Amino acid sequence: MRVISGTAKGRALKAVPGMSTRPTTDKVKEAIFSMIGPYFDGGQVLDLFAGSGGLGIEALSRGMAKAVFTDIEKKSVDTVQHNLQATGLKEQAEVYRTDATRALKALAKRAQKFELVFLDPPYKMKVIAELVLAMEEQALLEEHATIVVEHDAKDVLDETIGQCRLLRRADYGDTAVTIYKRDNPTS
C-alpha cells in the first residue's frame, strides 16, 4: 500500500496488523480517485471506519485541507497515526477511537461539515443507509458532498438515500465501490 498521487506520492502506508480489516487495494484506490477527483482544492474529508487511513490520507495528499479519521479498533487508530506521521500529514488530521454513530454525534456537536466521506464498514455490517441518513440529519454534509462507499459486490445499494443519489457503481472482484452525490437540498 502506498500513496498514489499528490504531496505524499509514493510514501508507503502500513497495513493494520491482523486479519480484521481489508485494506483498499491501490488499484481500487486509484479508480476511486479517478471517479471523484482526481485532485481537490481544500475542504474536509471524513474517513469513517478508517482502517489504515489510506483513503483519507490519499484525499489529503491530493488537496483536501483537513481530515477526520475514526475507527473503533485501537490497532487501526495506531496505524492511522503512524501513516499520518510517515506521510507528513499529521497536522491536517484528527484521529478518534470510537464507533461510527458516536463519532457522527460528536462531529455534529462541533458543527463539522464534510465535502467528502469514505464509508468502508465491515461487509457484514449493513449500515450504509442508516449512516448516510444520520449524516444528513446531523447536518454533517456540505451541499454537494460526495460519499464513497466500499462494500461487498453482492450488495445492491439504494438509488437514493435521503438527498444523496447514486452516481456510479464499479465492481472490483468481491469489492464494489458506490458513489453518492448529495443533491442541492434547496432545488
Max Cα distance, the chain (Å): 47
- Per the DSSP assignment, residues forming a β-bridge with 6 are none
The full 3-state SS of 18-43, as one line of letters, equals CCCCCCCCHHHHHHHHHHHCCCCCCC
What pLDDT, on a 0 to 100 scale, did the predictor assign at position 187? 43
Q: Quick one: pLDDT band at residue 166, thresholds 50, 70, 90?
A: very high
**Among the residues of the chain, which ranges form H helices?**
26-36, 54-61, 74-87, 100-109, 128-137
Question: Residue 78 CB: number of other CB atoms within 10 A?
Answer: 16
Helix axes of 74-87 and 54-61: crossing angle, nearest 10 degrees: 20
C-alpha cell of 117?
466521506
Per-residue confidence band for 81, with pLDDT thresholds at 50, 70 and 90 = very high
The pTM of this model reads 0.94
3-state DSSP call for residue 74? Answer: helix
Q: How far apart are CA 163 and CA 179, in angstroms?
A: 13
Express each pLDDT in 114-162 by its tens digit: 999 999 998 888 899 999 999 999 999 999 999 999 999 999 999 999 9
Domains in the chain, start-ordered, CATH in brackets? 40-182 (3.40.50.150)
pLDDT over 90 at 102, yes or no? yes
Q: What is the pLDDT of residue 184?
A: 64
Kindly state the average pLDDT of the residues 91-116: 97
